[in-house]
Amino acid sequence: MEKAFVAQRVAKKLFVTEAAVDGALAEASELMSEMLRARKDVGVSMVFADDAAAKMVEAIKALSEARTAMVAVHNELNEAKLRLGIRAKMGIEPKPASMADTSETTLRQVR
């Protein structure tokens, strides 16, 4: 099989994985925000569910570390591609829509 097609197959999985990690990090951050807002809305003290909040912070940190690792994987695979002699994108499809830059920004009200 031609190297460029193999590289394309790997690149597709890389982009999907990167998007999944970013998505998980965004969802976890929103969950943390919702947990903090819920505590305030219910009117309980900061010590209520503090263990859960601390675990959530650990999870966000782990996802952040996973994101950093994926950036390193991306860079390593790019170097491997160059070592294989694949210099151009050679028809590699664009990144998934979830990773594409958009001109629209979604805003939401924060309380």
31, part of any domain: yes
Q: What pLDDT shows up at residue 48?
A: 95
| Range 70-77 contact pairs with CB under 8 angstroms and sequence separation of 24 or more | 70/17, 70/18, 70/21, 73/14, 74/14, 74/18, 77/10, 77/11, 77/14
Residue 97 in domain: no
Please report whether residue 60 resides in a domain.
yes
Q: How far is the C-alpha of 98 from the C-alpha of 27, rounded, in Å?
A: 14
Per-residue model confidence (pLDDT) at position 96: 57
Segment 6-15 long-range contacts (CB within 8 Å, at least 24 positions apart): 7/81, 7/84, 7/86, 7/90, 7/92, 8/90, 8/91, 8/92, 8/93, 10/77, 11/77, 11/92, 12/93, 14/73, 14/74, 14/77, 15/95, 15/96, 15/99
Question: Does residue 103 fall inside a structural domain?
Answer: no
Number of domains in the chain: 1
pLDDT for residue 87 = 81
Question: Domain containing 63: what range?
Answer: 3-83
Identify whether 108 is part of a domain.
Answer: no
Residue 92 inside a domain? The answer is no
Per-residue pLDDT of the chain (111 residues; tens, 9 = 90+): 799 999 999 999 999 999 999 999 999 999 999 999 999 999 999 999 999 999 999 999 999 999 999 999 999 999 999 999 998 664 444 555 555 554 555 556 665
- Judge whether 61 lies within some domain: yes
Whether residue 39 is contained in a domain is answered as: yes
